[in-house]
Structure 1
Amino acid sequence: MAYASLAGVPPVYGMYSSFFASTVYMFFGTAMHISIGVFAVASLMVGACKLRMLPDHDDISGNSTSILGEGVGVMEFTSALTLVVGVVQIIFGVLRLGFLTTYLSDPLVSGFTTGSAAHVMVSQLNKVLGVKLPRHEGMGMLVRMVRDLILSIGSANITAVIISVAGILFLDLGRTYINPRVKRFSPVPPPLELILVIIGVILSVTLDLHERYHIAIVNTIPRGFPMPAVPNTSLVPHLITDGIAIAVICYMFVMSMGKLFAKKHKYKTDATQEFYAVGIMSIASSFFPVYPVGASLSRSSVCEMSGANTQLYTIFSSTLLLTVILVLGPFLEPLPMCILACIVIVSLKSLFLQVKELPRYWRISKYDFAIWLVACLTTIFMDVTKGLIISIVFALLTIVLREQWPKFTATHVDEIPPQHVPEGVSVLKFESPLHFANVTLFIDKISDLIASSNAEALLSGKAIIVDCSAMAYVDSMGLDALKELNSDAQKHDVTLLYCGLNEAVLNVIENDEIFRKAIPKSILRSSVNDGLLYLSTLQNV
């Protein structure tokens, strides 16, 4: 219910979404321990899409109109969006594109979810303050929302603020101090959120918070089971872009959670089958008032700690959800919305703590550090969908940059196992494949060494060994570079050896008749030590 309010849909949609999706996934998924249902990032993306496509005229800024046309309701919008997400996931499964998630690196996901958490928290603060604010979209939407919140502090509902602060403290302190103590006796943590909801309902009814203190409440929750309806396919063309982004995010969370628990419990998940599973799940659910869902780490952890070993545990959780939908829904109608906001805000704590990973990324890889920052900042200062797209593009760009400017490692002879080494031999390791993007750098580096003015002093033996053991492959321009450098070395009376070439590179060389004629086999050595022995033999001769 809390995440449904974040998505801008009726709270009961959160229960419907979790019920139908988890029930269908149980039959098709390969991840045994994940809990399928609504989660913060997808809810936020759905909310942003709804604001743009189907604005609520009581809750927007400016003169916005519905892109989807007049008469389109929330149920039609969410069902059509869920259908698009499911179809996209099925198509990705047919094309076997599960490997694409490997480009969603840990720094990217961490930075993106941290930036998304900022959006989620700010979107809930108006409920904490008990004020109604216009929602924004587009560039700088978060900044404008923060500005509106600051300006509205003077008109905040003190009762809502007190309830919210108390609720946040209850949940946070409970997780920090109570849960560890309970864990000694029971693997299942106490249901703090449920306890808070019960307290909130009791206080709301007892003190008449809605009428006396103007506290916003959940209000009407439909009774009974929703009837299925065919999604409005005429809305599909308008929702494709958002649908693709949400489909990737939902799959990413399902797969990452699935891999986490599969590794821990020593079983395998199938990336392609997971695309089919979440796709079928979304398409089947789209006939009901739902919105796209994925996997939640916190709920999945609870299921695992409870001893669940297969998706059959879904029968139990779905039965509880169905009971709430059919019977207990009306009892939640007096629940203050600020209580739901408290639950969402506290659940974001672990996402914000991901910022502690930055020092480690800085020490390990400046590229990973940059990916995290770009993912986080673009998500914060633009919006979630654009932040995801820019983050992926930037991450791919870093791969190009790493390949274009590879490392050259100067290896001293005394670091190599003892051999009879001719004096002055230089060993240089090229730590990358050799291709069109970095071939110029490779040529410049070796050419400068060959033709340097102090070559005699540097290389009294006039020999250069290029350690190519890290050269995974070579393209046509790379082969041309090897030939060009050998010719240049001969002109300067320098012996140039390429050592440690792997079988794939040697096969490429074997298939190039021009290269075989231009380069003697003697300069291709199996290892650096083999090259040193060869130079020693030449010196003796």
Structure 2
Amino acid sequence: MEVADSSVKSRRTFLRVAAFEKQFKRPPEPPKPLSQRIAAQCRDDFSKRKLLKTVHANFPFIGLIKKYKLKESLANDVISGLTVGIMQIPQGMAYALLGSLPPIVGLYTSFFGPLIYFFLGTSRHASMGTIAIVSLMIASVLDTRLGGGTETLGPETTSPVFDYNVSTTPSSANFTNTTTDATPIATMTSAFSEMDLQKIRMTAALSFVSGFVMIFLGKINMGMVATYMSEPMVCGFTSAVAIHVTTSQAKHILGIKVGRHNGVFKVIKTWIDIFKNIATINWAPVVTSIICILAIYAVKIHVNLRFKAKLKIPIPIEIIVVSIATAISHFAKFKANYEVNVLEDIPSGLPAPAIPDVTLVGESLKDAVIIGIVAFIQSVSMAKILARKNNYRINPNQEMVAYGAGSVLNAVFSGYIPAASVARSMVQEGAGGHTQVASLFGCLVVLVVIVAIGPLFYSLPKCVLSCVILVNLRSMFLQFLELKPLWKKSKYDFMIWIVTFLATVILDADIGIGIGIVFSILTVAIRTQRPEFYRAGLIDGQYIKPVNRYNEVKEEQSIKIVRFQAPLYFANSEMFVKAVRVASNIDPEELKKARKQHQKTNNENTTNTSVENGIPDSELGEGLALTQAENHPKRREAILVDMSGVPFLDIVGVKTLRRVFNEYNDVDVDVMLAGCSDGVLDILRSTDFMSEKEDFIYVDVESAIESRNEKAAENE
């Protein structure tokens, strides 16, 4: 039995695309009548299988409950949920304060957000609730619309919008209001000022509209919006938000009274005011803040993080610090003796549901959409990371629906837009949580605080909550350390990071994220206008590589292989023409000029010679041409464009190909295409380019070279 020599390649049966498709391409199926298509679609849509699939897709918790393993998962979910629930208490109050809202609103968000996400979310570990970015953007809208309390919302807001089951203050002996009878919020002046009521109404309306927009976007499969926010852009934006958050909390840490600035340059203006009033620092909150920051940081980083493998659950240092600070502040009378700002009245009990007045949104509709998208981006990014780590998948579109539903429910119950917290999600996963059942136990912890314990935080200094916020910004500040390696990896991604960061810090959060998205898209356009192209050859007759980067690259005689790696469309069509000329080292315009000059020189020499020898010009010219052709036989030059790196092209791209073909044909240089994708071939076929140039379009580079060599051998 003879063994075939593997080094000898068999002749290809199909070289050109036209012949290949003629035998192998399937003919298009004849369209079915409209009535049959409608009937088939209805049978599929209303089948039992499709209905069950739809129900499970919209309510993922059904599949979770069916597959839930009590013995393996329940204990871990209980421990994880209780741990995260304890974290939710100080963070919920702190981030509500950051959002320029009463602290109790953060607890409402921390209860209803995870509750609805359990039923609709697809991540097993995302911890929904309050986060810094959303709270900061909410505060920006409130400050812009309400003007620090000088602007009212109009006569339509004079009637009560929310009802609460509340008590007055923790020191009050009147506990009759803690019954099941709801008390109108408008009458609870001891718990909320008129400005607080306006902020709650505005926030609820904003969240309500944002939620429905997000649900709509999720249902039309717009979860792909996350792809337009690259990782460098998100990192730059969140790092800039950390600067905004730090700026907003500086006054609580330093005990300085400064006005709130809105719009562009607000960070700069705020720091100018802080330095102007630096002489009025209250050292009581400064000392309190230093102690709290050191305590929280030491335990979270040097204990919880360092001994993560040994600790079954992390030490809940935040709630410990908050509880101790509240007790010390109460007995030492921080407010009376040291003029430290404290939380004061915190109502107890769940708020009665009420539909927000969406007319309050008005010109803030854009902000509602942007905040919802920002919350979705951070949340889905965190969910994807945890899903990859634990080997399961999430559905971005269903996630968008879940976040939207969370915003709607929170709006009805006086909360605001929820999102997944990076820190809490990592704790929920790190504490051993297996499923979203953990969030139910977390909700239980928050519920206990809302119903019974909340008023006990009356004496909690606001600076302590600021410390909770600042320590949790650590991961955002650490992103600055990624800049140096990012510069080495990709200059474009580095510029996206810097531009987004500076735009967000100097201007504002919503403007910054818009500029970041636009700049990211612009860099994509710039990259396509600066595509990679090179002159290529073959290694071992099969590997197509650049001639200037690899050794032993063999170029075929009289064939210049040009590889273009970018889309060919209106924005870079001229670059494609230039790439072919540069890579092939054949410029048709220069070649024409050279030939004209050569012809002119030959004519002059021929005339002089014929006059001297007395030979007619026509006879001498024919003889010289014949002698040159016999002594210097040469193949016709060809340029082979490898199109395997071209993902798509448009009409302008097709016109550019025609232009290249015509320009080189005018100077006796053939142009061939190889390796076109099916999408590119469809465009070439629909524009009749395929039928016109089918003899020059090949299946791949090897086929084009083989065909060219066979043709040359026949001519010789």
- Contact kept, 8 Å, 1:447 with 1:488, in 2: the verdict is no
- 1:259-338 equivalences in 2 (<5 Å): 259-338=384-463
Shift of 1:523: 2.1
| Deviation per residue, 1:50-89 (Å, 9 max, x gap) | 00112334xxxxxx53466775722211111110111111
AA partner of residue 384 (structure 1) = A
Cα 1:394–1:416 shift into 2, 3 Å: farther
1:523 aligns with 2:696: yes
Could you list the per-position Cα deviations for residues 366-416 of structure 1 after superposition, in whole angstroms to 9, with x for gaps in the alignment?
A: 221111111111100011111111111221222222223322123245586
> What CA distance in whole angstroms lies between the structure 2 residues aligned with 1:99 and 1:466?
34
Instruction: Provide the residue aligned with 2:106 in structure 1.
Output: 14
Residue 122 (structure 1) aligns with = 247
- The Cα shift of 1:183 comes to 2.1
Would you say the 8 A contact 1:223–1:329 is kept in 2?
A: yes
Match for 1:39 among 101, 120, 131? 131
Tell me which moved more, 194-203 or 373-382.
194-203
Equivalent-residue separation in structure 1 for 2:540 and 2:328 (angstroms):
74
Could you state the TM-score of these two structures normalised by the residue count of structure 1?
0.93
Aligned partner letter, 1:29:
G
Equivalent position to 1:443, from 577, 598, 619 = 577
Q: How far, CA to CA, are the matches of 1:234 and 1:420 in structure 2?
A: 72
Aligned to 1:248: 373
Give, in angstroms, the shift of residue 307 of structure 1.
2.0
Cα distance, 1:424 vs structure 2: 5.7
Write the mapping of 1:100-139 to structure 2, written as runs, cut at 5 A: 100-139=225-264
Which residue is 1:486 aligned to? 661
Q: Is the 8 A contact 1:425 1:460 kept in 2?
A: no
Contact 2:314 2:431 in 1 (8 A): no
Displacement after TM superposition at 1:139 (Å) = 1.2
Contact 1:140–1:382 (8 Å) recurs in 2? yes
Q: Is the 8 A contact 1:84 1:239 kept in 2?
A: no
Q: Secondary structure at the match of 1:230?
A: coil
For 2:421 and 2:408, locate their aligned partners in 1 and report how far apart those are by CA, in whole Å. Answer: 20
Structure 1 unaligned segments of length 5 or more: list them: 58-63
Q: Distance in 1 between matches of 2:469 and 2:578?
A: 56
Kindly tell me: are residues 228 and 507 of structure 1, through their superposed partners in 2, closer, same or farther at Cα, counting changes over 3 Å? closer
Cα distance between partner residues in 1 of 2:488 and 2:686: 43
1:154 is aligned, of 259, 275, 279, to: 279
The alpha carbon displacement at 1:233 in A equals 2.5
Listed one character per residue, the Cα deviations across residues 340-369 of structure 1 (whole Å, up to 9, x for unaligned) are: 111111111110111222223322322211
Q: 2:147 aligns to what SS in structure 1?
A: coil
Aligned partners of 1:420 and 1:160: how far apart in 2? 75
Identity among equivalent positions (%) equals: 31
> Aligned letter for 2:398?
Q
Q: How far is 1:181 from its partner?
A: 4.7
Counterpart residue identity of residue 188, structure 1: I
Paired letter, 2:361? V
Q: Which amino acid aligns with 1:16?
A: Y
Moved more, 475-484 or 383-392: 475-484
**In structure 2, what is the Cα distance between the partners aligned to 1:56 and 1:532?**
75
Task: Quote how far apart the aligned CAs of 1:525 are.
Answer: 2.4
Instruction: Give 5+ residue unaligned stretches, structure 2.
Output: 1-92, 159-196, 544-552, 595-633
Map Cα deviations across residues 301-339 of structure 1 (whole Å, 9 max, x no partner): 111122222222122111111111111112211111111
Distance (whole Å) between structure 2 residues aligned to residue 292 and residue 422 of structure 1: 64
For structure 1, which segment, 416-425 or 373-382, has the greater mean C-alpha deviation from structure 2 after superposition? Answer: 416-425
Contact 1:108 1:392 (8 Å CA) reproduced: yes
Q: Is the 8 A contact 1:52 1:67 kept in 2?
A: no
How many residues get paired?
532
* Superimposed CA distance per residue, residues 211-242 of structure 1 (whole angstroms, 9 cap, x where no aligned partner): 11111111111122222222122213233111
Report deviation, 1:538.
Answer: 4.1
CA distance in 2, matches of 1:66, 1:410: 69
CA contact (8 A) 1:223 1:325 kept: yes
After TM superposition, the score normalised by the length of structure 2 is 0.71
After superposition, residues 10-409 of structure 1 pair within 5 angstroms as 10-57=102-149, 65-66=151-152, 71=158, 73-409=198-534
| Counterpart residue type for residue 493 of structure 2 | D
- The residue that corresponds to 1:426 in the other structure is 560
Determine the structure 2 residue equivalent to 1:61.
none
Note if contact 1:411-1:428 (Cα within 8 Å) is conserved in structure 2: yes
- Counterpart CA distance in 1 for 2:508 and 2:669 is 57
Structure 2 residue identity aligned to 1:526: V
State the shift of 1:94 in Å. 2.7
Change (3 A) 1:164 1:416: farther
Please identify the structure whose Cα radius of gyration is greater.
Answer: 2
RMSD: 2.4
Asked if structure 1 preserves the Cα contact closer than 8 Å seen for 2:313 and 2:431, the reply is yes
